[in-house]
Amino acid sequence: MNCKQYIKVFSPASIANVGPGFDTFALALEGLGDTIEVFRVDGDTIEVIVEGEHSQHVPKNWKLNSVGGVIQYFKKKYGFKGGLKVKVVKGVPVGKGLGSSGASAAGIAYALTKIFNLKITDRELVRLAAEGERVVSGSAHPDNVSGSLFGGFVIVTPELNVLKLNPPEMEIVIGIPELKNQRNKTRKARQVIPKKIKLEHAVKNIGYASMVTAAVILNKPDLFGKNLLDYLAEPHRSESIPGYKELKKELMKNGAYGCAIAGAGPSIFTIGKNSGELREIIKRKFEEQNIKCKVMVTKPSLTGVKEIKG
């Protein structure tokens, strides 16, 4: 087997669910992501080093983070000989609903298949990356990792069949509030969702999800935004985001097409006519509650994980 000795990749952040598409939709984000370097080394030692602005929130024991989850599954499923040194520079905020663990998991999954020259299907690649999510959240949910792997607007089924579409041309305003008690946030956010839902709520989500998909195909940001509605997860997760309902109302009054929780939260995202004004509203509404909030304006990334040369 002709294997590489080194690879460096960039893996973008992502927004999962995208309103009504719980565990099904994901949207890759431009300009925000993790950089991962993988070195093959002598011996059989595995070392994972995490650096960067958000590294302090990642477990130091590599077997407890998403990178380690992927490595362990890769060894068991495909096997490899020799050691690895992995360096992760965390560019995605941890525990904020922007697919931080998914970005790392997607990046290492892609890097391992390339450095060991392993030819697998997209479905198998998603399965590999999703095992990193299992370590972090207790569930191998495939939405974030699919978005990071392939970029664009992604639809993924429980059977791990993936369809990538080019999203509408639009700016996305993201508010990232600094809230306390965010430890094991994704796992807790999944636990608050009831196991049984009302039929009328399921029907609503199916309708909205269908409209979001149509908006992507038709390249209509306004239709996309107007259908960012969710009756499954948002009613329960929004309770942990102070002032979310009031913020959403004000955004809608001031040119937003729609607003939703990014993944498991607490970040929120909105799209609309005037990104600058929407940005200021988000910042002001959180500051009124003495909550620090970073607000960024980005757009969908059309590419997923990519190798960085040099």
Write down the pLDDT at residue 181. 57
Catalytic residue among 133, 171, 213, 234: 133
Catalytic residue among 24, 35, 113, 186: 186
> Does 159 participate in catalysis according to the annotation?
no
φ, ψ for residue 147 (rounded to 5)?
-60, -45
Rounded (10°) CA dihedral 150, 62, 84, 124: -30
Domain boundaries of the chain, sorted by first residue: 6-166+301-307, 172-298
For residues 94 and 253, give the distance between their C-alpha atoms in angstroms, rounded to a whole number: 31
AA identity, residue 258: G
The whole model's pTM is what?
Answer: 0.94
Write down the pLDDT at residue 101. 96
Give the CA diameter of the chain: 61
Write down the pLDDT at residue 191. 77
Q: Which CATH architecture has domain 6-166+301-307?
A: 2-Layer Sandwich (3.30)
Write down the pLDDT at residue 186. 65
Domain 172-298 has CATH 3.30.70.890: yes
For residues 19 and 234, give the distance between their C-alpha atoms in angstroms, rounded to a whole number: 8
pLDDT in tens, the chain (310 residues): 467 799 999 999 999 999 999 999 999 999 999 999 999 999 889 999 999 888 888 988 899 999 999 999 999 999 888 899 999 999 999 999 999 999 999 999 999 999 999 999 999 999 999 999 999 988 899 999 999 999 999 999 999 999 999 999 999 999 999 997 555 556 666 777 888 999 999 999 999 999 999 999 999 999 999 999 999 999 999 999 999 999 999 999 999 999 999 999 999 999 998 999 999 999 999 999 999 999 999 999 999 999 998 6
> Does 213 participate in catalysis according to the annotation?
no
Write down the pLDDT at residue 54. 83
